[in-house]
Amino acid sequence: MDSFRAFRIDEQDGKIVAGFANLAVDDLTAGNVVVRVSHSTINYKDALAATGKGRILRRYPLNGGIDLAGVVVSSEDPAFEPGTEVLVNGCGLSETVDGGYSEIARVDSGALVPVPDGMTCAEAMQIGTAGYTAALAIHRMEQNGQAPEGGPVVVTGATGGVGSIAIDMLSRRGYEAVAVTGKAGEEAYLRKIGAHSILLRDDIDFGKRPMEKAQWAGAIDNLGGDYLAWLTRTMLYGGNIASIGLAASHELHTTVMPFILRAVCLLGINSVETPGDLRRAVWRRIGTDLKPRHLDVIGSQTISFDELPAAFQAYIDGTVTGRIVVEISR
């Protein structure tokens, strides 16, 4: 197979250096399936890795990109024949193995998921890790008794990738989705993708008591810190909080009182190390009852592979709304 282009991240003299490189298949980390990558996407985690703002990679060098979708070129696993459209999210991509910012990827078949019926590779990457994480959160919450009739579900970080798709999915399922955002100018966007109401972060009264007025039947939290602590204090009896991110802080200062007096459940969501059976089950739901209805709005931005390096800073600055798809190869 001829050489191909990849966006590679390395460490030199203690600093992160990232840029395009020409590679051969033998340069890639081990795997039993070779995929021609058509699309990837950008997540906050990708921006941290590429800019060196966060230590995401556990070895160097590696190709960036925690998501990929494309077509199988060759396979040692009969479950994935050449020509099969597949996707990978998480599973060590751009952490311990080469990621999706590469025209060719070599991956372990255990990480592969067939692209859901009726979905294109581009649509799969409009969803990507962000949408998968949102779906996994809803799946776990519903396994724990969450239902639309229970009351409103609040989503923090609502204009980001996870938040946007979570609102869309919740709305499709019949939930009253409440969007928490710091972007006052994005109300029209949030309502268009299914938000029932909008709560501005600056208007939140965190309170100081161990428990405040109960308001939410469920929550999907991208922020952590004071916001997650506030959620624990304001949940209705038996409410589920899916903890996904720490954009505000990794710390959590709360008490046990909401958990033992209101039976609040705190569910940790890890999209990277999800067991294969659960990962495939969630992606099947993404292709059916959790399929977002507003991908044309949430994932309306597509950039070329050449434009990738210039796109990361907006994620660091927190100015991105929705999802950006990267067209790797045609």
Considering the domain architecture, whether residues 145 and 213 belong to the same structural domain is answered as yes
Q: For residues 199 and 76, give the distance between their C-alpha atoms in angstroms, rounded to a whole number.
A: 51
**Mean pLDDT value across the chain:** 95
At which of 223, 252, 268 does a domain end?
A: 268
ω before 78 within 30° of 0 (cis)?
no
CATH number, position 258 = 3.40.50.720
Considering the domain architecture, whether residues 80 and 185 belong to the same structural domain is answered as no
* 33 within some domain: yes
Q: What is the pLDDT of residue 208?
A: 87
| 282 to 140, 252, 276, 301: CA distances (angstroms) | 10, 28, 10, 25
Q: Which tokens belong to 320?
A: 């991105």
Number of domains in the chain: 2
State how far Cα 112 lies from the chain centre. 17
* 259 within some domain: yes
Considering the domain architecture, whether residues 24 and 61 belong to the same structural domain is answered as yes
Considering the domain architecture, whether residues 78 and 189 belong to the same structural domain is answered as no
* 175 within some domain: yes
Range of the structural domain that residue 180 is part of:
130-268
The average pLDDT across 181-185 equals 92
* 276 within some domain: no
pLDDT digits (tens, 9 = 90+) for 7-64: 999 999 889 999 999 999 999 999 999 999 999 999 999 999 999 998 899 999 999 9
Percent of the chain with pLDDT strictly greater than 70? 100
Considering the domain architecture, whether residues 89 and 192 belong to the same structural domain is answered as no
* 120 within some domain: no
pTM for this model (two decimals): 0.93
For 70-90, the DSSP string reads EEEEEESSTTS-TT-EEEEES
How many other C-beta atoms can be found within 10 angstroms of the C-beta atom of residue 288?
11
Comparing C-alpha atoms, which of 159, 102, 112, 164 is closest to residue 133? Answer: 164
pLDDT band at 1 (very low <50, low <70, confident <90, very high): low
The average pLDDT across 287-314 equals 95
Q: What is the pLDDT of residue 14?
A: 86
* 169 within some domain: yes
The average pLDDT across 80-86 equals 97
Q: Which tokens belong to 138?
A: 């809803």
Which conformational region is residue 115 in: left (phi greater than 0), alpha (psi within -120 to 50 degrees), or beta?
beta
Considering the domain architecture, whether residues 204 and 109 belong to the same structural domain is answered as no
pLDDT digits (tens, 9 = 90+) for 216-259: 999 999 999 999 999 999 999 999 999 999 989 999 999 999 99
Comparing C-alpha atoms, which of 316, 327, 320 is closest to residue 51? Answer: 316
Considering the domain architecture, whether residues 143 and 238 belong to the same structural domain is answered as yes
Comparing C-alpha atoms, which of 54, 40, 39 is closest to residue 9? Answer: 54
Considering the domain architecture, whether residues 51 and 87 belong to the same structural domain is answered as yes
Considering the domain architecture, whether residues 103 and 147 belong to the same structural domain is answered as no
Considering the domain architecture, whether residues 166 and 69 belong to the same structural domain is answered as no
DSSP assignment, residue 97?
B
Considering the domain architecture, whether residues 244 and 141 belong to the same structural domain is answered as yes
* 282 within some domain: no
What sign has the CA pseudo-torsion 86, 162, 282, 171? Answer: negative
Considering the domain architecture, whether residues 103 and 148 belong to the same structural domain is answered as no
Angle at alpha carbon of residue 244, lines to 239 and 246, rounded to 5°: 115
At which of 252, 268, 284 does a domain end?
A: 268
Q: What is the pLDDT of residue 54?
A: 85
* 286 within some domain: no
Q: For residues 187 and 197, give the distance between their C-alpha atoms in angstroms, rounded to a whole number.
A: 9
CATH number, position 14 = 3.90.180.10
